[in-house]
Structure formats: structure tokens, C-alpha cells
Amino acid sequence: MSPDTKDGATIRVMTKEDYAKVKAFMKDDFYLWEPLCQFSGESVQQQNEEKNDEFHLSMIAQGTCLVAIDENNGGRLVGFVLAGAQFPEDIEQHRVEAEAMEQHTWGRTYRLLSKIEREANIFERFGISKALYSHITSVAKSMRGKGLGSRLAATLMEVGRSKGFPAMVAFCTSFFAARQKEALGMQCIHSLTYADYKDAQGRPIFTPIAPHTMARAMAIRL
């Protein structure tokens, strides 16, 4: 993929050398704004950190992750996408991993995403044997509202097509993330309302602020 530059921001494929900056960016720009983490009061990035790093680096090695660089500001990182291949057998593996996780915010989030992943079942629904999974997309606060997130998602679709993926899927916990992907042609194939996702005592496990009322599985054929 050739680098794509617009309004001073260049999007290119992420390398493992980028990961230290991406990880620092996630701490300051992703976890503080992601609806399920935002008011948790926990250091979510430190939860399951070693395995998350391993997972992220495995996706980077596939050449399916992207970074956005601000060419007008010393090459500052202003956005990224972590994405990678997903296969039918991963659904059960993720369920097992989710059930074994601790009762912290990341563990609860992973269990929620695993439930949505099983119920959406893009492989059976689309009749495919692999998909490009858009795991995390984040844009710097200073760059929001300028179309960079949409550019990252659209570029990822191009990467997916070039690598022979028949579809792309994303699990959106944010209303704005889902709306952005819908504008690019992705469809909601499954949703789960936070108010209906409860613990053993009947209490909602997540209570993010409006308009974040549900998590959605968004997908598109490539």
C-alpha cells in the first residue's frame, strides 16, 4: 500500500517500530475516551497488558495495521488502526480466553465482545472462512471531526481487498464509531443494549453515558 496524504496527515502501514508510540497514544487518546473504559476508574491499559501487546504485535506482523502521521507537526502520530485476520475457530478461543479473565474492566469488556462475536457469527452469516477484524481505531482529540477516522477505516478496507479478505468486521462500543462505519457502507449485523447486559444480581454491567447505549457488530463485504 502506498502512503496516502491529505490535509497534512499521511496514512501508511504500521510497523513494529511504531508500536511504542501507538501504545503510548492508546493510553492518552483511546482508553480515556472509549465508553466502557472512560469512567471505570481503573488503569485499563495495564490489564492483560502482556497478552494484549502480543496480540497487537501479531496483527502488525500481518501488514494489516495502519498509522496516521501529521506531516505538519514533526511527524506526530495522530491516529491508528489495529486490525488482523480472524477465522471461525477464533470465536471459541476468544470465549475460553474471556471466561478465564479477571473481573476487571478489560475482562468484562472482552467477555462482552466475545458474546457479540458469537452471536453475530460473521462466518456463518456471510458464508466465509476468514475476515479482516478491525480491532481498535483511535484518532487524536485534536484531529477529530476532520474525517481522519473515516479515512483510516476506508484505507483498511482497501488493505483487506488487496489481501483477499472477503469481508471486514468491527465491534463498536461507541455510538460515534458505529455511525462512522455505517457512513462507509458497513451494516450492523448484531447489537447488544448495555441496559440489557446484566450481572448475576440483575444489574447492568456497563452504564456509559449517552449516546453510547449499545455495542454493535458492523460488517461489510469487501
Instruction: Give the pLDDT score at 54.
Output: 95
Nearest Cα to Cα of residue 189 among 203, 168, 160, 210: 168
Burial category of 63 from C-beta neighbours within 10 Å (exposed 0-12, middle 13-18, buried 19 and up): middle
Instruction: Give the pLDDT score at 130.
Output: 98
Report yes or no: 42 and 206 within 8 Å, Cβ to Cβ: no
pLDDT in tens for each of the 222 residues of the chain?
767 777 778 999 999 999 999 999 998 888 888 999 987 888 888 888 899 999 999 999 999 999 999 988 778 999 999 999 999 999 999 999 999 998 999 999 999 999 999 999 999 999 999 999 999 999 998 888 888 999 999 999 999 999 999 999 999 999 999 999 999 999 999 999 999 999 999 999 999 999 999 999 999 999
Instruction: Give the pLDDT score at 71.
Output: 82
Instruction: Give the pLDDT score at 2.
Output: 62
When the candidates are 2.40.110.10, 3.40.50.1360, 3.40.630.30, 1.10.1370.30, the CATH number that belongs to 4-221 is 3.40.630.30
Instruction: Give the pLDDT score at 33.
Output: 85
Q: For the chain, give every domain's residue range.
A: 4-221
- pTM strictly above 0.85: yes
